[in-house]
């Protein structure tokens, strides 16, 4: 059961304490104040903040009792200034925050949790320690956001095993379970048949229907343009000329979020401004057929804004993305190619765009 003290950091006394606002500002991201955002800008800016936080391994839950503006206000006014351990990326430590612990809504955080999020097992545990406690009447949260929030990356060594969202692993029958004593009879019949089939073929396992389904989905004729899927699900897509400069970044982040929910991720976007990126997605990324696996822990469709790897794309990569070592190696391997000067990209978003599961 929660207490009234927000716990935002895992054990890490050896790391300095800094606020998330300071940590994000170090990467060049400063979220706008709630009062600066109108109703059209707010949803996209909220997702921008949530993905920026996730890029630094800050994750949230318990947000479904709040509308977008209330959630953004809680994060901006309270969470962003709450000191937390400044873990380095190599520590791979995730920080999880229940937003209700920062929020009032006329109730204590305990009441919010019990009213909206506590399940039957939680109530039973609570009653075991406080038998006379009167629970608030349960209400379904008015919003549906938690299941779409950014999730921590899955370790590579877990990719081969069962993951949440997979079908339940099939039960393996117990070979010793033989209440009717038929195993011995089956063995005798099989032995008798094999006397007349000395070169019998090994047993054939029929193909796994799940594998067949996945293989079929990978065929190009099963692909659909992302724009078609978005329109079919009533997600509006505005042509670039119809979007004002003030609304462009929020609309772009809403689009990136909606694409990520369908398993579509972008790579190498920093050499493009927001309008160029949106136009590039509008003109091609959303129009080309793609296999969108959804929010799948083992699959994703990755759209690289650098293109196909031709000479112009290599020059862009060298100019904006290649490290000093990569530039030196390219010059050594291809001394006849011109090495463009390094330039600062127009954007600063690749570190915080929605990421694939691996």
pTM of the model: 0.79
Block means of pLDDT (10 residues each) for the chain, 358 residues, are: 43 80 97 97 98 96 94 96 92 90 76 88 85 85 95 66 53 52 56 45 45 55 86 92 96 97 96 96 93 87 88 92 94 90 94 88
User: Which tokens in the block code for residue 142?
Assistant: 């008015």
d(CA 118, CA 98): 13
pLDDT at 184: 59
**Beta strand extents in the chain (DSSP E only):** 17-18, 58-61, 84-85, 95-98, 264-267, 301-304
Kindly state the helix (H) or strand (E) to which residue 100 belongs, with its residue range.
none
74 and 99 Cβ atoms separated by less than 8 Å: yes
What is the pLDDT at residue 8? 42
pLDDT at 190: 54
Q: Residue 322 in contact with residue 286, Cβ under 8 Å?
A: no
Distance of CA 251 to the CA centre of its chain: 19
Phi, psi of 328 (to 5 degrees): -65, -40
Tell which residue, 263, 245, 73, 239, has the closest CA to residue 165.
Answer: 263
Look at residue 4 in the predicted model and tell me its pLDDT. Answer: 43
CA nearest neighbour of 42 among 20, 72, 63: 72
Q: Are 72 and 37 in contact (CB under 8 A)?
A: yes
């Amino acid at each position: 059961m929660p207490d009234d003290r927000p716990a935002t950091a895992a054990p890490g006394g050896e790391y300095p304490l800094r606020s998330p606002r300071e940590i994000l500002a170090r990467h060049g991201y400063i979220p706008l104040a709630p009062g600066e955002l109108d109703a059209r800008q707010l949803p996209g800016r909220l997702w921008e903040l949530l993905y920026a936080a996730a890029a630094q391994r800050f994750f949230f839950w318990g947000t479904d009792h709040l509308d977008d503006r209330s959630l953004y206000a809680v994060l901006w006014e309270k969470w962003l200034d709450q000191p937390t351990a400044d873990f380095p990326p190599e520590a791979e430590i995730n920080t999880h925050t229940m937003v209700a612990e920062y929020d009032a809504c006329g109730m204590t955080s305990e009441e919010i949790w019990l009213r909206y999020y506590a399940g039957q097992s939680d109530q039973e545990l609570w009653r075991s320690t406080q038998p006379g406690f009167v629970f608030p009447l349960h209400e379904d949260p008015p919003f549906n956001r938690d299941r779409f929030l950014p999730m921590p990356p899955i370790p590579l060594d877990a990719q081969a095993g069962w993951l949440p969202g997979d079908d339940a692993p099939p039960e393996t029958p117990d070979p010793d379970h033989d209440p009717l004593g038929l195993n011995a009879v089956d063995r005798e019949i099989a032995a008798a048949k094999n006397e007349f089939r000395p070169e019998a073929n090994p047993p054939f396992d029929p193909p796994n229907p799940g594998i067949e389904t996945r293989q079929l989905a990978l065929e190009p004729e099963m692909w659909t343009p992302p724009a078609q899927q978005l329109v079919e699900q009533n997600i509006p897509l505005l042509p670039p000329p119809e979007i004002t400069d003030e609304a462009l970044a929020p609309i772009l982040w809403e689009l990136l979020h909606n694409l990520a929910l369908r398993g579509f991720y972008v790579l190498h976007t920093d050499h493009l401004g927001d309008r160029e990126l949106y136009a590039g997605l509008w003109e091609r990324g959303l129009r080309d057929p793609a296999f969108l696996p959804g929010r799948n822990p083992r699959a994703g469709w990755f759209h690289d804004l650098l293109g196909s790897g031709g000479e112009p794309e290599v020059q862009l990569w060298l100019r904006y993305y290649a490290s000093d070592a990569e530039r030196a190696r390219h010059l050594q391997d291809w001394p006849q190619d011109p090495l463009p000067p390094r330039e600062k990209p127009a954007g600063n978003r690749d570190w915080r765009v929605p990421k694939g599961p691996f």
